Amino acid sequence: MNKELDVVVTQVKESVWPVTAYPRQDGDMAVGGIGLAKLAERFGTPLHVMDEEDVRRRCRAFTRAFPEADVAYAGKAFLCRVMAGWIASEGLSLDVCSAGELAVARTAGFPARKVLMHGNAKTPDDLRAALSYGVGRIVVDSFSEITRLAAMAAGGTTPRPRLMVRVTPGVDGHTHEAISTGTDDQKFGFSLASGAAAEAIQRVIAQRRLELVGLHCHIGSQITDLDAFDLSARRMIGLLAAVRDAHGITLPQLDLGGGFGVPYREGDPELDPQALADRLHRVLREACDENRLPVPKITIEPGRAIAARAGVTVYRVVSVKHAASGGLLVAVNGGMSDNPRPGLYGARYSVRLIGRKSLGGDRTATVVGRHCEAGDVLVKDAQFPADIRPGDLLAIPCTGAYHHSMASNYNLVPRPPVLAVREGRARLMIRRETEEDLLRRDAG
Ligand SMILES: *Cc1c(COP(=O)(O)O)cnc(C)c1O
């Protein structure tokens, strides 16, 4: 079974479509054994589809590459109770960064000890929720949070809250500024270079009611450069050695974060979990030998690398316009409310006409959304048949991470549902938002 999975994962490695996707003779695209056009008929559009098999295989690629480590899925990429169930059944831990994400984990029965709570500005409500559920680790991110947790733990929480200190190692992952989190002078963590990290570690150690279990860093997202992870791991081992020298304590754990890049379009680079594992294992052995430290228990936190490629979004074309310059504008019934990434990061996607055979030549077009912003563009320079028309269905791959989780109700457009597909069956994970949902909060 595993052998067979290996082969399939290798074959589709370069692909941006889910592992079970295949184009059908009639022009449709099947995912999880069901045609996307059929799903669009049954569940309406826009529609997010998640390939369960894809999510599970990505989980296994990490647990196989890092058999001794704790692999924690970063839930902010995409979280609902069904997803939490898949993650738990694959043996992964779970990162949450709010009481809301924790509520999903809790009501899905996700084991508390396998939950990590993150956030640069956790509110007292977030911290209370974390302590009352008894999460395995809280990753502290500010001095005031250390003080607040010590005060909350004074009530006699047993056992003591287990903390990691989030360190900013000063490593640039060469990614977009909005998702670069490892450099100095951004909002996350305690700077290694300024001495703030050492100060935070000292303060947690000084709090009898708190237990420091290790250090954490996360240098950013969509990183494909192994050197960046190599450098941050070396710096973090150096800090563990400094903690040992200053306090006589050998911290048992090191969390190296996530941010492993995935391709959004054919030909984009990706970070292979096994290549990452081989590099990190070597670096950790070397750096720990140099510092006469035992290799700590490692945690890694893939988010996008687990969820992104499992997702496909299906839209219906509403209008086709010829711009004054002669360009073709294909407008769909969704846009920046279900996919804010082009606007936020200049993210680029591919798109495909599905549900019918195309007749004739290729045309270059721009796929735009329905929202009242000129920047609501989903795909630039897309290729379509010349007869692209209203009513056609389009599928955009690689929308499983940071799409539904970042969705908004801009223009009071209801958020799309998320469907899980597997072996010819579809199951609703999150239902479509209704007008009633939208009006419910309007207190007027
Ligand atoms: C967002 C985040 C991740 C996951 O990032 P990806 O780019 O989705 O892999 C991991 N750890 C922390 C602390 C994060 O904030």
Task: Check pLDDT > 50 for residue 264.
Answer: yes
Does the C-beta of 258 come closer than 6 Å to ligand 1?
A: yes
Q: pLDDT category, 158, cuts 50, 70, 90?
A: low
Average pLDDT over residues 276-292: 98
Expressed in angstroms, the distance from the first to the final Cα of the chain is 58
Mutational test site, ligand 1, from 174, 221, 405, max ligand atoms within 8 Å of CB? 221
Residue 46: asked if its preceding bond is cis (omega within 30°), the reply is yes
Asked if pLDDT for residue 20 goes beyond 70, the answer is yes
Which tokens belong to 353?
């006409």
Q: Give me the CATH code for the 3-51+309-440 domain, please.
A: 2.40.37.10
Domain boundaries, the chain: 3-51+309-440, 52-308
Looking at residue 155, its pLDDT comes to 74
What was the pLDDT predicted at 358? 80
- Which residue reads 């006469």 in tokens? 292
Tokens of 224: 């494909």
- What pLDDT is stored for residue 279 in this prediction? 98
pLDDT at 182: 67
pLDDT at residue 150, rounded to an integer: 95
> Can you give the pLDDT at residue 156?
66
pLDDT bucket at 6, cuts 50 / 70 / 90: very low
Q: Which residues are annotated as a binding site?
A: 259, 301-304, 341, 345, 373, 402
Q: Does residue 4 surpass a pLDDT of 70?
A: no
- Measure the CA–CA gap between 284 and 132, rounded to whole angstroms: 35
Average pLDDT, the chain: 93
Statement: residue 5 has pLDDT above 50: no
pLDDT band at 13 (very low <50, low <70, confident <90, very high): very low
Q: Which of the residues are catalytic?
A: 372
How many angstroms is it from 247 CA to the middle of ligand 1? 30
Identify the pLDDT of residue 444.
93
**Backbone phi, psi, residue 85, to 5°:** -65, -45
Q: How confident is the model at residue 289 (pLDDT cuts 50, 70, 90)?
A: very high
Q: What is the pLDDT of residue 225?
A: 93
With bands split at pLDDT 50, 70 and 90, how would you rate the model's confidence at 369? very high
What residue type is assigned to position 78 of the chain? F
> Is the CB of 218 inside a 6 Å radius of any atom of ligand 1?
yes
Indicate if the pLDDT at residue 219 is higher than 80: yes
CATH tag, 52-308:
3.20.20.10
Rg of the chain in Å (alpha carbons): 23
If one counts every other C-beta atom within 10 angstroms of the C-beta of residue 208, the result is: 9
Assess whether pLDDT exceeds 50 at residue 290. yes
192 pLDDT tier (thresholds 50, 70, 90): very high
CB 213 near ligand 1, within 6 Å = no
* Model confidence at 175: pLDDT above 80: no
406 CB-contact burial (10 Å; exposed 0-12 / middle 13-18 / buried 19+): middle
Q: What was the pLDDT predicted at 178?
A: 66
- Which one-letter DSSP state was computed for residue 308? G
Q: What is the pLDDT of residues 308-353, one digit of tens each?
A: 999 999 999 999 999 888 889 999 999 999 999 999 989 999 999 9
pLDDT the model gives residue 185: 72
Q: What is the pLDDT of residue 325?
A: 87
* pLDDT recorded at residue 172: 80
Q: Which residue has the tokens 């640039």?
A: 172
Distance 259 CA to ligand 1 centre (A): 5
As annotated, the binding site for substrate includes: 304, 341, 345, 373, 402
- Among residues 86, 99, 81, 84, the alpha carbon closest in space to that of 138 is found at 99
Q: How far is the CA of 257 from the centre of ligand 1 (A)?
A: 6
292 touches 237 (CB < 8 A): no
Residue 307 CA: which ligand 1 atom is closest? 8
407's tokens: 């969705």
**Confidence (pLDDT) at 110:** 98
What is the whole-number distance in angstroms between the Cα of residue 226 and the centre of ligand 1? 16
What confidence score (pLDDT) does residue 326 get? 85
Furthest CA-CA distance within the chain: 73
At residue 186, does pLDDT exceed 90? no
Confidence of residue 177 (pLDDT cuts 50, 70, 90): low
